Structure 1
Amino acid sequence: MSGPAALVRADLQGFTGYRSARGEALHGDVWLNANESASPNAADSAGTCRRYPDPQPERLRDALARLYGCEPAEVLIGRGSDEAIDLLVRALCVPGRDAVLVTPPVFGMYAVSARLQGAPLVEVPLREGSEGFGADIDAIASHAEAGHAKLVFLCSPSNPTGGSVALADIARLAARLTGRALVVVDEAYGEYSELPSAVALVRKHRNIAVLRTLSKAHALAAARIGCLVADKALIAVLRACQAPYPVPEPCAALALSALSPDAVEATMRRVVSTRIERAKVRTALSELDIVRTVYPSQGNFLLVRFVDAGAACSALLDAGVVVRDQRSAPGLGDALRITIGTPRENARVLSALAPLQVAA
């Protein structure tokens, strides 16, 4: 193997995985090869769920490739972004030897997957500056080399800080780590960002992979449809390591409908509205004396430091508003993450915090 596929664990190189009944390129009109029920469930009015689904639905994969500007062979569909994260860690990291590098405070699933695989965790904290939190690319590269990291996760826009990593910095990091590590750019919130996608870098820098999902901007969180865009050879290896039927047929059908031109246009209108609301809410929160800092964000959320985050969280809960308490995250002992909702929901946030402002 060459390119990023060479980073795969030696014992998995050449691994063919489980050959499912739907994974075979067979044709017929009487399907008796998967031990499925001969008749549908009474609750299944369409009669489609008695059959196992296509492991990688071709039409959905083509639609995702068009959406993200890549080739279908560079796309692996999975259950949200989480499945791809787990697959990457299991396929590339030898337990006890190959490390996973993360940049806290950040999405916790990278560390969870590393822990489950027995992969050492290398942490390079984000740096806080006048423009918010940013990734220290030189420090990340040095720690990745010294810590024998096989995977470097960059969350951009980052959850929970909202900051992004410039494409030039991602490319520079990937060039330095060529042959050593795969740089995985998590763009779960990419639609809300003003920066271009790192998918544009995948062809030139084969050790870059990009995570995308339909859970956020496309409003399909319950459908659990995400994908990894990466070098074709690496995608082929990960497919062999993936569970036989990762994409339920009803979810695939819904996702395909959601990627029609009209639906995508509606999604982008929602994104524009969210960006407008994000700016309004940030301004309003910044004017409150009970707020220390509202960080700039490229996501559909704001990270907010409060004079008393506990009191703010309680006031919001009392008003029926649930936000993400970040006080247990490194360096965020006074912070809450607030998702940008509808204008009415955002008004409820500000209304719930108003009594604290009076008390202050």
Structure 2
Amino acid sequence: MSAPVDLIRADLRDFAGYRSARSDRLVGDVWLNANEAAWPNAADDGGVRRYPDPQPETLRTRLAALYDCRPEQLLAGRGSDEAIDLLVRAFCTPGQGAIVITSPTFGMYAVSAKLHGARVVDVPLVDDGRAFRCDIDAVADAALASNATLVFLCSPGNPTGDIVPLDAVRTLAERLDGRAIVVVDEAYQEFASAPSAITLQAERSNIVVLRTLSKAHALAGVRLGVAIGDADLIAVLRRCQAPYPLPAPCVTLVERALADEPLATTRARVTASVRERERLAEALREAPGMRCVYPSSSNFVLARFDDAQSAFDALLAAGVVVRDVRAQPGLGDALRITVGRPDENDRVIAALVGAVA
């Protein structure tokens, strides 16, 4: 099995990155090494005149416990978006590199690649009219043919809600050993019944998993996500990261949230969302002009309509804002509806079905 760091851009293999004033673990009680303000701002109630720790040890330890990995396997950043960007920077040579995606999927993979000058190779998901699935053989063939160094799998898929089975992820990682990193974006993993791809990393070191606190943990506003992978690979990503990626108030809030909210409470919130997801999907299947409501392992449902614009307008007239995904490949008649609280879902049902189920 090849080392994933062998796939790092050749010009970055000796790249040390920027060493900030907080990079060195120095001890002292008078801190004059970072050109910070000597007196605090009037709004400061938590020491924010100081630069924050780039990767706070307490935070990484708690996140590692949450995701069942070692702290050195984990990089915390500004949502999963930053991890995607760092992976593209580290593994794709500008103007030469390539990534593989499976549309319709999360748009930031292609955005990050295009901003970096990397090609985007698309292997569309297969839609049989009832569900979406990923053609793993076609993905592997495309990655090898294009010399792509990154393959992005969104599982559960956004906006499709589908799962990529772990056996398929394992097979893909085996075929691409020494050729590409398989990135499994698990932003919605807590809402799925399938196990995490983190469980494969002990046997396949070219798998990176992305997780976020934005969904199940109800912390979207703090913008904190993680990349989990081989420790040497994570060390490279850290060297490519901005000096101070984690604002101190956000870190404090996350540490408090992870310490104060029992895991059982998070699970109860997820269970309620899953229950409402199934109720909403069942009711929407009775809506006039409904073509298809796809099965979902996420906190949303994807639906196709005879007239998606009329459905979108009806929801807006009822004060309900949903995601219009018609611009995405193959989804010209579809809307993505996030699962809300029971009363919010009742409004969706009333607007589209005409009565609350």
What is the TM-score normalised by the length of structure 1? Answer: 0.97
Corresponding residue SS for 2:265: helix
Tell me if the contact between 2:104 and 2:124 (Cα under 8 Å) persists in the aligned partners: yes
| CA drift at 1:110 | 0.1
* 1:187 matched residue in structure 2: 186
Task: Name structure 2 gaps, 5 residues minimum.
Answer: none
Q: Supply the RMSD in Å over aligned alpha carbons.
A: 1.3
1:148-207 CA deviation, whole Å, 9 max, x = no partner?
110000000000000011111100000000000000000000100110000111121000
Equivalence for 1:63 = 62
Q: Do the aligned residues in 2 keep the contact of 1:97 with 1:148 (CA within 8 Å)?
A: no
> 2:289·2:307 contact (CA, 8 Å) conserved in 1?
yes
- Inter-partner Cα distance in structure 2 for 1:236 and 1:168: 28
CA shift digits 1:68-99 (9 cap, x unpaired): 11000000000000000000001110122221
Output the amino acid matched with 2:143: A
1:261 Cα offset (Å): 6.3
Contact 2:52 2:248 in 1 (8 A): yes
Q: Deviations over 1:230-266 (max 9, x none)?
A: 1000001111110000001111111112212634321
Rounded to whole Å, the distance in 2 between the matches of 1:124 and 1:95 is: 22
Regions of 4+ moved over 3 Å: none
Q: How does 1:107-118 map to 2 (within 5 A)?
A: 107-118=106-117
Task: Give the distance between the partners of 1:13 and 1:207, measured in 2 at CA.
Answer: 17
SS at match of 1:260: helix
Superposed, which structure 2 residues align to 1:30-179 within 5 Å? 30-46=30-46, 48-129=47-128, 131-179=130-178
- SS of aligned partner of 2:291: strand
Distance 1:260 1:154 in 2: 31
Distance in 1 (alpha carbons) for counterparts of 2:289 and 2:336: 15
1:15 matched to 2:15: yes
Alignment match, 2:289: 290
In structure 2, the partner of 1:212 is: 211
287-296 or 336-345: which moved more?
Answer: 287-296
Letter in 1 for 2:50: R
Aligned partner of 1:333 in structure 2 is 332
Question: Structure 2: which amino acid aligns with 1:192?
Answer: F
Q: Which moved more, 1:52-61 or 1:251-260?
A: 251-260
TM-score if structure 2 supplies the norm length? 0.97
State the distance in 1 between where 2:246 and 2:96 align.
32
**Structure 1 residue 104 displacement after superposition:** 0.2
* Alpha-carbon contact 1:110-1:153 (below 8 Å) kept: yes
> Which amino acid is 1:213 matched to?
T
Contact 1:258-1:264 at 8 Å conserved across structures: no
**Per-residue deviation, 1:355:** 5.2
- Read off the aligned partner of 1:21 and give its amino acid letter: A
> Offset of 1:354 from its aligned partner?
3.6
Q: CA deviation at 1:131?
A: 4.6
The aligned residue for residue 350 of structure 1 is 349
Alignment partner of 1:24 is 2:20: no
Native 8 Å contact 2:288 2:352 kept in 1? no
Whether the aligned pair in 2 keeps the contact of 1:257 and 1:263 (CA below 8 Å) is no
- Partner Cα distance (1:11, 1:182) in 2: 18
CA distance in 2, matches of 1:170, 1:131: 22
Q: Distance in 2 between matches of 1:71 and 1:355?
A: 51
* Structure-2 residue corresponding to 1:270: 269
- Report deviation, 1:138: 0.3
Look up the match of 1:258.
257
1:198 pairs with 2:194: no
In structure 1, what is the Cα distance between the partners aligned to 2:228 and 2:173?
A: 15
1:229 matched residue in structure 2: 228
Give, in whole Å, the separation in 2 of the partners of 1:252 and 1:85: 20
Give the gaps of 5 or more residues in structure 1: none
Structure 2 counterpart of 1:23, which letter?
S
State the AA in 2 paired with 1:107: F
Distance 1:321 1:147 in 2: 43
Contact 1:286/1:293 (8 A) holds in 2 = yes
Alignment partner of 1:21: what SS? Answer: coil
Distance in 1 (CA, whole Å) between partners of 2:9 and 2:206 is 15
Partners of 1:105 and 1:161 within 8 A in 2: yes
Task: Report Cα offsets for 1:105-154 as digits up to 9, x if no partner.
Answer: 00000000000011011000000125500100000000000011100000
Alpha-carbon contact 2:129-2:292 (below 8 Å) kept: no
Pair 1:5-2:5 in alignment: yes
**Mapped pair 1:319 → 2:308:** no
